[in-house]
């Protein structure tokens, strides 16, 4: 009996519709199916043996999700002959967790910075340390210290970097760190969320793995959650990272992947405008009488300006600045902004501000925060793509203490 013979009303309501396609989609389609059907058991067996690759179940891979992960990988090595492999995850934090957990065992070590995104620090200390995975915090401007540490440490090791660092915008020389790491056969992982491949390509500078929160600049519009893991090493992806992603289940979904794909189409245009606006705002703030200090890699007075100039194509959308006086002045500035939104994210088309000491880095020890320039008066700014005159005017009004004090 053929499928056509099952024509009762209830059956017709539920049985699959055969997809009719006589021309190709111009745009990527959304394929939300959780499972994929086979014509026979032989095809099913072949698909399960061809993993990753063949679509059997969306936790393993999906026709919408997979090509977006690969597009991000292609961007990370664009302009070179290098091949890269990418997967999407449910969030940036999921990408960090899956990457590190797939590579490390009890007794192994993550070598990283003292100051990171607050969520990353919490993940390391609350999830990995209890698993007896050590966390060693180093100053990566001291390469001799790094080399000595690699000589002493036992077990597997990975180096995990943010550059620029959140929120003081310090920069790490990826090429120099990667050169030392390769001597000891240690993998270098770089969170490239702030820059995206438009500004910085860590894989081409010697890093082994790149991570992203696609929620930020890659999507760019604040309506999609996601993360990405990219590596040049096919075996590393297929034998370690992808199996862990599949088993943990922190995979992306078709709709979020589709939204990320839409954002990628304007990534180059947005990032250039972000960079131009951030440079202009940084220069304005650097001259303001009520601003103590500005952290932006594009400024000549930034301590890592030369590193940024050598490894970045532009200086990004993120800056931070210290307001003169007390925390009350910082709050006054933030509350006085009209165009810029107070929001716990970054990388969207509109300008966003955050007070790190009371939000993203709230659980970081105060002495450590202050040691790395995260004072109570520090404000982080994700500069948007609005008209730069409007952005500057917004901060100009908010920074006018005398007028606002009346």
* The two structure tokens encoding residue 199: 């500004």
β-strand partners of 318: 382
The one catalytic residue among 134, 157, 216, 232: 216
Q: Are strands 227-231 and 291-295 parallel, antiparallel or unpaired?
A: unpaired
* The two structure tokens encoding residue 285: 């703030």
Per the omega criterion (within 30 degrees of 0), is the bond before 164 cis? yes
Distance in angstroms (rounded) separating the CA atoms of residues 191 and 202: 9
In which residue are the tokens 């009719």 written? 20
SS3 content of the chain, % helix, strand, coil (to 5): 40, 15, 45
Residue 117 annotated as catalytic: yes
Distance in angstroms (rounded) separating the CA atoms of residues 160 and 111: 6
The one catalytic residue among 60, 85, 117, 198: 117
H/E run at residue 160: strand 157-162
Question: Other C-beta atoms within 10 Å of 203: how many?
Answer: 24
Phi and psi for 60 in degrees, rounded to 5? Answer: -85, -35
The one catalytic residue among 66, 173, 191, 256: 191
Distances (CA, A) of 10 to 7, 15, 35: 8, 9, 22
The one catalytic residue among 59, 179, 293, 404: 59
β-strand partners of 321: 294, 379
Nearest to 350 by CA among 320, 319, 381, 386: 386
Residue 233 annotated as catalytic: no
Distances (CA, A) of 296 to 242, 268, 275, 305, 318: 36, 20, 11, 8, 7
Enumerate the active-site residues: 59, 117, 191, 216
């Amino acid at each position: 009996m053929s499928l056509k013979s099952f024509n009762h009303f209830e059956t017709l309501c539920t049985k699959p519709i055969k997809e009719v396609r006589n021309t190709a989609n111009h745009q990527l389609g959304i394929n939300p199916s959780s499972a994929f059907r086979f014509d026979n058991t032989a095809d099913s067996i072949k698909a399960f043996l061809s993993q990753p690759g063949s679509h059997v179940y969306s936790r393993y891979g999906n026709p919408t999700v997979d090509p977006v992960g690969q597009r991000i990988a292609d961007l990370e090595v664009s302009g070179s002959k290098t091949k890269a492999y990418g997967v999407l995850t449910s969030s940036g934090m999921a990408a960090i967790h899956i990457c590190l957990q797939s590579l490390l065992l009890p007794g192994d070590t993550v070598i990283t910075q003292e100051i990171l995104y607050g969520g990353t620090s919490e993940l390391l200390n609350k999830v990995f340390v209890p698993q007896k995975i050590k966390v060693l915090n180093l100053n990566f401007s001291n390469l001799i210290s790094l080399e000595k540490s690699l000589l002493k440490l036992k077990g597997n090791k990975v180096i995990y970097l943010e550059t620029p660092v959140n929120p003081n915008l310090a920069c790490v020389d990826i090429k120099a760190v990667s050169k030392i790491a390769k001597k000891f056969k240690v993998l270098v992982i770089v969170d490239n969320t702030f820059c995206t491949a438009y500004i910085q390509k860590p894989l081409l500078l010697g890093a082994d793995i790149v991570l992203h929160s696609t929620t930020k600049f890659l999507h760019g519009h604040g309506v999609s959650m996601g993360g990405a893991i990219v590596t040049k090493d096919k075996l590393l992806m297929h034998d370690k990272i992808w199996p862990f992603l599949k088993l943990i289940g922190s995979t992306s979904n078709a709709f979020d992947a589709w939204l990320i794909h839409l954002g990628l189409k304007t990534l180059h245009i947005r990032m250039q405008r972000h960079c131009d606006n951030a440079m202009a705002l940084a220069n304005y703030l650097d001259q303001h009488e009520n601003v103590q200090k500005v952290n932006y890699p594009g400024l000549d007075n930034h301590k890592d300006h030369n590193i940024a100039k050598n490894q970045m194509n532009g200086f990004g959308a993120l800056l931070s600045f210290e307001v003169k006086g007390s925390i009350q002045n910082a709050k006054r500035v933030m509350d006085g902004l009209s165009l810029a939104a107070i929001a716990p994210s970054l990388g969207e088309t509109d300008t966003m501000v955050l007070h790190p000491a009371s939000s993203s880095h709230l659980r970081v020890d105060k002495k450590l925060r202050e040691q790395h320039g995260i004072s109570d008066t520090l404000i982080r700014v994700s500069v948007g793509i609005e008209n730069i005159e409007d952005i500057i005017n917004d901060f100009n009004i908010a920074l006018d203490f005398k007028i606002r004090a009346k």
